[in-house]
């Protein structure tokens, strides 16, 4: 190996690209949302992470203006490939999480059925709380929803509820909506399905697809979401007929079989 080639290799090993400088913006408009006092702290192939006057947000590069996309070296083809891989990784994780939650649910149900007076029957639930602040196995607070963006659902007493937290700008939320539509149609006689978003009615109306086929309302100040510990979307609460929260988490862990077990019997056959 020549001395020149060896020198080039050593220089390559010792060189590190300069750290990306933080980008500061007075304001940043993304759709109908305007962020103020913005500092972009990280950039990936698909997203930017920014701090602003109201907290921290993650924004898709494709939602930015062409000028900002150019500034952050957005490559649509590379971003699409990265997102496909992210979706695959997420699906694999969610499938494993769903399986673990379901196996835990069945084990507790079996224990409750074989020993109805045991502790297991008193703590029967889909998942275990992670800490004392978890809402699991606690009474669900009043929904307090007054801004209905659809017809307000009837809420018969002693009826289980599935509450879906979502946002029209979130692709995972949009992908989950058809499942929630299906649960609304399949379990309409036994389950109250409600969608909750922090967006305004005008923001929700801009989303034309997928169609929302369940009752949904605004929680613009996130009061209810905060009361039940929901900090990211999509998320689902399952509230039993006694008003106790039995599940809080990603909708990927919920399927028809879980809901059938939750309400206590199979879905009513379609007429």
pTM exceeds 0.95: no
Phi, psi of 126 (to 5 degrees): -80, -40
Q: In this predicted structure, what is the pLDDT of residue 220?
A: 87
Q: In this predicted structure, what is the pLDDT of residue 14?
A: 46
Q: In this predicted structure, what is the pLDDT of residue 46?
A: 86
* C-alpha dist (Å) from residue 250 to 54, 84, 100, 113, 245: 25, 19, 13, 27, 14
State how beta strands 147-148 and 33-43 pair: unpaired
DSSP string for 141-200: PP----EESSPPPP--TT--EEEEE--TT-HHHHHHHHHHHHHHHHTTTT-EEEEEESS-
Residue 268 DSSP label: P
Q: In this predicted structure, what is the pLDDT of residue 236?
A: 92
Report the CATH number of the 128-263 domain. 3.40.30.10
Residue that has been written with the tokens 């084990």 in this structure: 107
Q: Which residues of the chain have pLDDT under 50?
A: 6-11, 13-19, 120-124, 128-131
Q: In this predicted structure, what is the pLDDT of residue 8?
A: 47
Q: In this predicted structure, what is the pLDDT of residue 9?
A: 47
Q: In this predicted structure, what is the pLDDT of residue 96?
A: 62
Q: Which helix (H) or strand (E) holds 95?
A: helix 76-114
Each residue of 190-221: pLDDT tens digit? Answer: 999 999 998 889 989 888 889 999 999 998 88
């Amino acid at each position: 190996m020549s001395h020149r080639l060896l020198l080039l290799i050593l220089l390559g090993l010792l060189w590190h690209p300069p750290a990306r400088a933080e980008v500061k913006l007075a304001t940043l408009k993304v759709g109908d949302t305007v962020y103020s006092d913005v500092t972009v702290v990280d950039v990936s192939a698909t997203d930017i992470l920014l701090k602003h006057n109201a907290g921290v947000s993650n924004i898709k590069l494709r939602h930015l203006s062409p000028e900002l996309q150019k500034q952050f070296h957005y490559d649509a083809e590379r971003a699409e490939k990265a997102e496909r891989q992210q979706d695959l990784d997420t699906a694999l994780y969610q499938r494993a999480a769903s399986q673990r939650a379901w196996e835990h649910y069945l084990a507790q149900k079996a224990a409750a059925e074989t020993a109805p007076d045991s502790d297991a029957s008193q703590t029967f639930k889909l998942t275990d709380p992670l800490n004392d602040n978890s809402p699991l196995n606690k009474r669900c607070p009043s929904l307090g929803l007054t801004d209905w963006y659809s017809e307000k659902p009837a809420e018969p007493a002693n009826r289980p509820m599935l509450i879906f937290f979502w946002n029209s700008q979130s692709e995972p939320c949009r992908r989950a909506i058809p499942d929630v539509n299906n649960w609304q149609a399949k379990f309409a006689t036994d389950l109250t399905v409600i969608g909750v978003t922090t967006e305004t009615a005008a923001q929700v109306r801009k989303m034309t697809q997928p169609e929302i086929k369940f009752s949904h309302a605004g929680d613009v100040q996130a009061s209810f979401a905060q009361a039940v510990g929901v900090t990211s979307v999509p998320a689902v609460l399952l509230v039993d007929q006694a008003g106790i929260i039995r599940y809080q988490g990603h909708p990927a862990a919920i399927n028809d079989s879980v809901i059938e077990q939750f309400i206590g019997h199979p879905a009513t056959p379609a007429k």
